[in-house]
Amino acid sequence: MLTVVMLNWTRPEYVIQNINRYASYKVVESVLCFNNGATLKCSAGLPPKCILIESSRDLGLYSRFAAASLARTKAIFYTDDDLWVPEATLEALYAAWQGSPSSCHGLHGRAVYKGYKRENVYGPVEVVLTRAVICSRDVNNAALSAVRFFEDMQAEPVGNGEDIILSFAAMSSSGALNRSHSLPSFNYPGYGERGSDRTTIEIHLRWPGYFAHRNQVVERSREVFHLKEPLSDTVNF
């Protein structure tokens, strides 16, 4: 069994859809939603599997780690509010994680050696995005403990690059690369579109410093987790 961890900021309708969808999956024990935005209005109520954590202000992306630390399962599934992962895909990711539980297993890999690249890559990778990724609670807690080494880095929003920290924490624990899987998922309408309201579009579209910052987080992570060189030279970098 696993715990789904989600954040809400400005897309409550998608968050509520996903809460209800994931709560219906057999492999899901609970859904933890950390709300960094306006109070969620759920006229029909939330499913019993859902635990909603309301914040009085936006605490940024590290709130993922804080919420996941409260999980009662060994497996954590992080996912964003701009996509939906079908049950069969989540079950496949969970099976892969069971085979190597100290690694991250997700849908969106990134090549980051000698420069952060934005394109999806699959197979063994250093970084897997928290758009859709399974990791262990122990790896989550190791990433949470490492946050203090990145607090001097200015980011929009606070905690940008948390998926990089998580990925390096996993590699430090496992001694192996993480894994990106080519499996079905579906983006909600508006994903990747540049809008007029800065609060409703993806971080990489609204913040010009996004990629430079993520390169800096990669380099800091190599120092913090003592992984100056990739674990293998036969993978996607």
CB 3 within 8 A of CB 29: yes
Q: What are the phi and psi torsion angles at 110 (to 5°)?
A: -130, 135
Structure tokens at 171: 């590699």
With b for 16 or more beta-carbon neighbours within 10 A and e for fewer, the 161-196 pattern comes to bbbbbbbbbbbbbbeebbbbbebeeeeeeeeeeeee
pLDDT for 28-67, tens place per residue? Answer: 999 999 999 888 887 578 999 999 999 999 899 999 999 9
Predicted confidence at residue 164, as pLDDT, reads 97
Indicate the pLDDT class of residue 196, thresholds 50, 70 and 90.
Answer: very low
Structure tokens at 102: 């100290």
Predicted confidence at residue 13, as pLDDT, reads 92
- Residue 6: pLDDT over 70: yes
- Residue 234: pLDDT over 50: no
pLDDT for 77-87, tens place per residue? Answer: 999 999 999 99
- Residue 114: pLDDT over 80: yes
Q: Whole-structure pTM over 0.85, yes or no? A: yes
Predicted confidence at residue 83, as pLDDT, reads 96
Complete domains list, the chain, with CATH: 2-224 (3.90.550.10)
Predicted confidence at residue 219, as pLDDT, reads 96
pLDDT for 91-111, tens place per residue? Answer: 999 999 999 999 999 999 999
CB 6 within 8 A of CB 195: no
